[in-house]
Amino acid sequence: MMNKILVANRGEIAVRVINAAHQLGYQTVAVFSEADRAALHVSLADQAVFIGAANSRDSYLNISVVINAAKKVEADAIHPGYGFLAENADFAKACEEAGLIFIGPSSEAIHMMGNKAQAKDCMEVAGVPCIPGYRGNDQQLSTLQQQAAAIGFPVYIKAALGGGGRGMRQVMFTEELPAAIESAKSEAKSAVGDDQLILEKAITNGRHIEFQVLADRQGHTIHLGERDCSLQRRHQKVIEETPSPAVNDILRQRMGKVAVEAAKAIGYIGAGTVEFLLAESGEFYFLEMNTRLQVEHPVTEMVTGIDLVKWQLKIADGQSLTIQQQDILMTGHAIEARLYAEDPDQQFLPQTGDIKLCQFPKIEGVRYDRGVKTGQTVSAYYDPMLAKIIGTGETREEARRRLIRALQQTVLLGPITNRQFLVELLQSSVFIAGKAHCQFIEQQFFNKTEPVSERDKIGNSQLIALAAISVTLLMNNNYSHQHQGWRNSGLASGYCRLKADNNSVFSCKLQKLSHPFYQVVIDDMPAIDLNIVSIDDHQWRYSIEGIVNTAYVLVEQGQVFISNQAQQIRLTQLGFESVQELEQAHNNVSAPISGCVVKVLVDTNQTVAKGDKLVVIEAMKMEHVVVAPLSGTIDKVYVASGQQVSAGTLLIDIHPS
């Protein structure tokens, strides 16, 4: 019998499990690393146990430490969430041996499905269709090259263990294979501790369709319909929905039947997901089985009315399913967007830093699963996902509109997020038509070359003007540092320089015209006449040309954070000497993110061209390549392989050619 549950995870999933457990009357225990002392999940649990250093290998991935934490507080069970130890068969077995209930499938089932090669062999025996590929133990480069040639390009390289896109590479041509294999092995080893790879035929323009299964200890197994997870960047999902626009009732029955058979073939218990690739031809192939709860599980809950986390807990406590397959009804539509701390304009590079302000609006038909709060730090140690926002409706279009509105009104000042990118995806004609496939983001957004529209330029200039006013008011003591109000005393006029994250510098001249109007001239742009309607804490109401808008503004330690419905920008106030330093710094290459230097690819005196690879940095279990911003000769290399660096650390000097 379960009474106290330890949640061996962090972030929004820890919050989700803790809330569900409390609703069923269970006591909860959170675990936290050095980096998560002030995290939201820690404050919500009945008890919390410190488990080690910020590095996940020393805390959330340390099996003995987590087991000892459960024993220390006399917990009866452990919920692994997803990620970290959720699909670690050794962890499930350690829980069993310690007399703890593991809220998930058996260690044998996890082991069988945890290795992609082994899982596909098992599924083929069960009659489940699989993508052609190579899953052998011979991992020599020559063997992998031969097998790739036999499969035919393009091919996918995948880590045999783990998921989330770690170790996954698409290779188009033979000559790209060696470098891709080396990089995939390195990333897989770091993420899951094993560098074994498999090769698969790349099926272009396919859709990622997964089926939610639920099975109890009494032998009952059902599916709860499909989720379409085709919108992905870096092979990681960003938007998911149910039902899929590409799946009709007949196909749903076929795929659902196969998913249930796959779960039964391994004696599965609990909540799990069987993932398929749906080709344009209508054929579908087994990808893998996730032996855990999925990040995107809320969309299934919203259309079926079934709480998957609560059922995980009930099944672990020995209860049998009270619902049959014929009882499952999918009503309405649900779409989920993952809010990440990442910069879409820099190939989705993860972002770190303190969350200065975090607000999620209350909107009918919208659900928020979040793991952050104001004042919390987003570190380089963990996945950069901040929250999941789920829009629901009677129709797909209603769910889409609600989700867009929720995203536009979400305020998160601090690290750059992908909020506006998500809105662009949801507003794209391809998504509206229900035609998005797995390569859509890569094809449409990774190589965007069209110039910034005049509308975007105007929007940016308006926010920069607002930033200039906020800085000037603060300098003239007309706008309190605590942001509790605004006083209209004295002449507010001045001159300031502001630097954006892309190193663009804006020279701003400001003059107060008459209460409460200001005129701002940015560089050589036309003057902007801006009326400050009101300032309420961080919320500014302002009007330009008779149109009133709202923005959230925060000025702190020489930085200005601004967000409105359309944009989010971060600016740094510069002195005159700082501008000169900035111009000189264009020849310096700094770390874009905190992490570990995996490899330095250049030497002193080496000639490089703009775009050449310089350094590989590992952060958040992914490898990020730093490239040359200009052509020239390497003057100096400041770092070495294995070195830990912070964001902004000087890596390399380049003498321009």
In the beta sheet, which residues pair with residue 47? 29
Q: How far apart are CA 33 and CA 477, in angstroms?
A: 40
169 assigned to active site: no
Q: Which amino acid is at 64?
A: S
Place of tokens 């344009």: 280
Instruction: With CA atoms as reference, report the closest residue to 340 among 367, 375, 298, 370.
Output: 370
The crossing angle, in degrees rounded to 10, of helices 89-97 and 107-114 is: 170
Nearest to 86 by CA among 116, 58, 66: 66
Give Cβ neighbours of residue 456 (< 8 Å, ≥ 6 apart).
567
Residue carrying structure tokens 């396919």: 206
* Whole-angstrom Cα Rg for the chain: 26
**Contact in structure between 308 and 343 (CB atoms under 8 Å):** no
What backbone torsions phi and psi does residue 654 show, to the nearest 5 degrees? -120, 125
Cis peptide before 451 (omega within 30 of 0): no
Q: Measured between alpha carbons, how far is 354 from 374 in angstroms, rounded to an integer?
A: 8
Given a contact cutoff of 8 angstroms between Cβ atoms, the answer to whether 277 and 156 are in contact is no
Specify the amino acid at residue 417: T
Residue written as tokens 């769910």? 399
At 396, the amino acid letter reads: R
Beta bridge partners of 130: 286
Query: Which residues contact residue 390 at a Cβ distance below 8 angstroms, ignoring those fewer than 6 apart?
Result: 298, 299, 302, 334, 335, 336, 337, 366, 367, 368, 369, 403
Distance CA 473, CA 508 (A): 14
> Residue 312 in contact with residue 382, Cβ under 8 Å?
no
Catalytic residue, candidates 252, 292, 370, 402: 292
| Cβ-contact 96, 107 below 8 angstroms | yes
Preceding peptide of 361 cis, ω within 30°: no
Residue 302, helix vs strand vs coil = helix
Residue with tokens 């038509």: 433
Residue 54: strand, helix, or coil: coil
Q: Detail the DSSP E strand segments found in 137-257.
A: 155-159, 169-171, 197-201, 207-215, 221-233, 236-242
Residues with a catalytic annotation lie at 292
